[in-house]
Amino acid sequence: MTYSWYRFVDQPSFQQYNWSVEKKARVQAFVEKLHAHWSIDRDYMAPPTRGKLVALDPALLATPPRGLEIGYVPIVTRQEKQ
């Protein structure tokens, strides 16, 4: 898979919305706060009282390039069979 890294508000799926510059700035600032302060090793919700949690395949986790750790998301732009 090939990933391209986008600022959160610039990712292709959001381009269908006619957001103002101000709204984009608010959403982007919120996402940057989340990325800066929410680590992946903490619980942010109470565990379920029934059922089972799913597990994520570690191969699905993408490490951002240096400088794109906060406010950016990976978008798959190409997939090919190996």
Residues linked to residue 45 through DSSP beta bridges, in sequence order: none
The 8-class DSSP code of residue 4 comes to E
Contact by Cβ (8 Å): 7, 28: yes
pLDDT for position 60: 81
| pLDDT tens per residue, range 37-76 | 998 888 888 888 999 888 888 888 888 999 999 999 999 8
| pLDDT tens per residue, range 9-22 | 999 999 999 999 99
In this prediction, residue 28 has a pLDDT band, given cuts at 50, 70 and 90, of: very high
Residues linked to residue 8 through DSSP beta bridges, in sequence order: none
Nearest to residue 4, comparing CAs of 65, 49, 61? 65
